[in-house]
Amino acid sequence: MQTSFQITPDPTKTPASAKAFLCAFILASAVPLAATAKKPQGTITDRAAFGNIRSYCVDMTDLPGWEALDVRNLIETETKPKRLLTKLPWTLKTDCAQSQPDAVVVVKFRRMNIITVQAGAQPDINDPERRIYDIKANLQVSDRDSSRLLYDVEAGPVNSASGRSTVPVQEPDTLLRRDAAYHAFWALIDDVRRH
């Protein structure tokens, strides 16, 4: 036995097509708001001061020799036309002491050991085949005059060791540092654009 139903439209209610149009309109207008409200990758401690930055320099005075060289090489490469740092809407000043930029950028590196262990086994920290590490780049933007921290982000290389099972990292430290610093600057650029 089949039962059939017949629905008769109520003239006092809004037609379904009008409701669908209204829902689509509300949804379409909310998408740009959701896109701009995306959470920044880094921490912005003073939004007003961060938004007023127009020029910056990169201070490498506290970095050890190889790390300073890696950051310097990254800046030289990525300030060429159509490269990463040309997307940052701030002007790069070459000398932090004499050029009077609005902000000072400092990049520091942190090496994190990750020991991989097979399920049920005890870790052997002396076995180089089981020791893997990540290098993280911490990028900080400070106000030049007050040295007040305005922005802070940490990033790692794309091909980081996190998530690998027992395969040791083959890349030299210099490539890992460069890749980590590249992604820290990428996060900064993304957050500046979103701000």
Rounded-to-integer distance, Cα 181 and Cα 100, Å: 24
Beta-carbon contacts of 72 under 8 Å, excluding residues fewer than 6 positions away, are 60
Which tops the pLDDT comparison, 2 or 148? 148
Mean pLDDT computed over every residue of the chain: 80
What does the pLDDT read at residue 168? 47
CATH code reported for the domain at 42-194: 3.30.160
pTM over 0.85? The answer is no
Helix residue ranges per DSSP H, the chain: 16-36, 47-51, 65-78, 173-194
Confidence of residue 188 (pLDDT cuts 50, 70, 90): very high
* pLDDT at residue 5 is higher than 70: no
pLDDT value at position 79? 96
Amino acid at 78: E
Count the alpha carbons within 13 Å of 61 in the hemisphere toward its beta carbon. Answer: 6
- Two structure tokens written together for 144: 């030049």
Structure-block tokens of residue 55: 């020029």
Model pLDDT, residue 7: 53
Q: Which residue has the higher pLDDT, 96 or 126?
A: 96
Residue range 12-42, pLDDT digits in tens: 555 666 566 555 556 565 555 444 557 889 9
Q: Which two tokens stand for residue 89?
A: 């809407």
Quick one: which H or E segment has residue 111?
A: strand 103-115
3-state secondary structure of 46: coil
Strands 103-115 and 131-143: antiparallel
Question: CB within 8 A of 176, min separation 6: which ones?
Answer: 134, 135, 157, 169
Query: Is 141 strand, coil or helix?
Result: strand
State the average pLDDT over residues 42-71: 96
Of 16-30, 143-157, 169-183, the range with the highest mean pLDDT is 143-157
Q: How far is it, in rounded angstroms, from Cα 155 to Cα 190?
A: 13
Helix (H) or strand (E) holding 56: strand 55-58
More confident residue, 22 or 181: 181
Contacts of 68 (CB under 8 A, 6+ apart): 60
